[in-house]
Every structure is written in structure tokens, then in C-alpha cells.
């Protein structure tokens, strides 16, 4: 398995969780740097570029159509990215520091997939405009994991009830989930940033 991803690592305060930044379709590892820095300014950052190309646009896994995922590829890519995170933990001397994903859209969907299939990898996640990545046969034990989900009521790519179903699924698995449906579309709005900052600041990982 090729676990080498294009990425950026920026060191930070060892007492804070490391932010794992996962961009949306067509983005890259630079896309969310500013957002990550405003959400948790002193955190170390690991920002990764998805390896799958859709008409030249980087993604984290293949899809057959909008909202219809190639589940075999999703499974493979989830393992591959999880293994990369394990490797990066060693390479950057992260020790046991908690890693919290901050993913947007396709990046949020792979972060949710990691939570559901490799629950040892992340301590928590901020999922922006996320949907159910796949239907697990059995829910993992996500007790102790903290998840914030910010979704848009007017999102034309991700139906609000699909986001709500993911929030329920994560709760049922035992995660502490803060789910907010906002008067927003698929794009981020100003209040997403303050919501994320407040959520991060109010949590110990």
C-alpha cells in the first residue's frame, strides 16, 4: 500500500491537538491552512492532499456520481489515509498527541469514514458539510470521541437529512456530537469559523 501523500506539516504547541486538514473536491493541501490557523492558532497542522483525480481535481476517494460513492475505493482510501496518519505520527514525533480532523465536504466525508472504520486514528473531528460515507455493518465504539458537524439547510450537494443521519450514527456509536444545521448552502459562511473556534476552545482532547 502506498501511504505517501503530498502534505504540509507545521509544528505547534505540544499541549494542543494536532489538526488534520482535509480539503474538498478540487482543493489541495494549502486550501484549509488559513482556516485551521484561525480555528486553533497554536495547533500543529498536518494538511493532506487527496490522491484521486476527478477530471484533474484532487479528492480523497472515487465517486460514481455526486453523492454516490465507489465504496470499494472508499474502503481502500480510508485504510491508506489512516496508515499515512500512523506513519506521520512517527515521522513528526507526535507521540500520543490527539489528532482532530477538520474536513470540508469530500474531506469531511473521508474523516467520517475514518471514524467509522478506523476509530483508533482520530480523537475527534470537525465535519463541515458532511454526509454518510457508507453504511457500516456494525457501529464502532466511538465513546470519548468529540465531533462537531456544521451542515447547511440549503446545501444543494448534501441533503440536510443525510447530514442529520450521520450525526445520529456517530451519536449511536457513542461519540459526543454537536450537530448544527445552519442557514447556509454548501459553501462556508462567516459564522462557521466562530462556531468552530468556540467548539475547539470549549473542549479538552
Catalytic residue flag (residue 176): no
Cα–Cα distance measured from residue 67 to residue 39, given in angstroms and rounded to the nearest whole number: 28
Catalytic residue flag (residue 155): yes
What is the CA 4 to chain-centroid distance, rounded? 18
Catalytic residue flag (residue 105): yes
Asked if 157 touches ligand MLT (CB under 6 A), the answer is yes
Cα–Cα distance measured from residue 22 to residue 64, given in angstroms and rounded to the nearest whole number: 20
Asked if 66 touches ligand MLT (CB under 6 A), the answer is yes
Cα–Cα distance measured from residue 174 to residue 5, given in angstroms and rounded to the nearest whole number: 31
Q: How far is the CB of 148 from ligand MLT (least distance, A)?
A: 18
Cα–Cα distance measured from residue 29 to residue 47, given in angstroms and rounded to the nearest whole number: 5
Cα–Cα distance measured from residue 73 to residue 79, given in angstroms and rounded to the nearest whole number: 10
Pick out residues in 83-122 that bind ligand MLT (CB under 6 A): 105-106, 109
Q: What are the cell numbers at 54?
A: 476527478
Stretch that binds ligand MLT, among 62-70, 137-145, 176-184, 189-197 (CB under 6 A): 62-70
Q: Which of 47, 113, 155, 192 is catalytic?
A: 155
Q: How far is the CB of 130 from ligand MLT (least distance, A)?
A: 8
Q: What are the cell numbers at 111?
A: 474523516
At 21 the three-state DSSP class reads strand
- Number of residues in contact with ligand MLT under rule CB under 6 A: 9
Q: Which of 25, 47, 123, 163 contacts ligand MLT by CB under 6 A?
A: 25
Which of the residues are catalytic?
A: 105, 155, 186
Task: Point out which residues bind ligand MLT (CB under 6 A).
Answer: 24-25, 63, 66-67, 105-106, 109, 157
Amino acid at each position: 500500500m502506498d501511504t505517501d501523500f503530498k502534505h504540509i506539516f507545521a509544528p505547534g504547541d505540544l499541549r494542543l491537538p494536532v489538526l488534520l486538514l482535509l480539503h474538498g473536491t478540487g482543493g489541495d493541501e494549502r486550501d484549509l491552512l488559513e482556516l485551521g490557523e484561525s480555528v486553533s492558532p497554536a495547533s500543529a497542522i498536518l494538511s493532506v492532499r487527496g490522491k484521486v483525480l476527478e477530471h484533474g481535481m484532487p479528492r480523497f476517494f472515487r465517486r460514481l456520481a455526486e453523492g454516490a460513492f465507489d465504496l470499494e475505493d472508499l474502503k481502500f482510501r480510508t485504510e491508506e489515509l489512516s496508515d499515512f496518519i500512523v506513519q506521520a505520527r512517527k515521522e513528526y514525533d507526535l507521540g500520543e498527541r490527539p489528532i482532530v480532523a477538520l474536513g470540508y465536504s469530500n474531506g469531511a466525508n473521508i474523516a467520517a469514514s475514518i471514524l467509522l472504520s478506523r476509530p483508533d486514528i482520530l480523537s475527534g473531528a470537525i465535519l463541515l458539510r458532511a454526509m454518510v460515507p457508507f453504511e457500516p455493518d456494525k457501529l464502532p465504539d466511538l465513546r470519548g470521541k468529540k465531533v462537531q458537524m456544521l451542515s447547511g439547510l440549503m446545501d444543494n450537494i448534501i441533503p440536510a437529512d443525510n447530514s442529520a443521519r450521520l450525526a445520529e450514527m456517530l451519536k449511536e456509536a457513542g461519540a459526543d456530537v454537536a450537530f448544527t444545521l445552519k442557514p447556509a448552502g454548501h459553501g462556508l459562511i462567516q459564522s462557521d469559523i466562530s462556531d468552530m473556534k468556540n467548539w475547539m476552545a470549549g473542549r479538552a482532547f
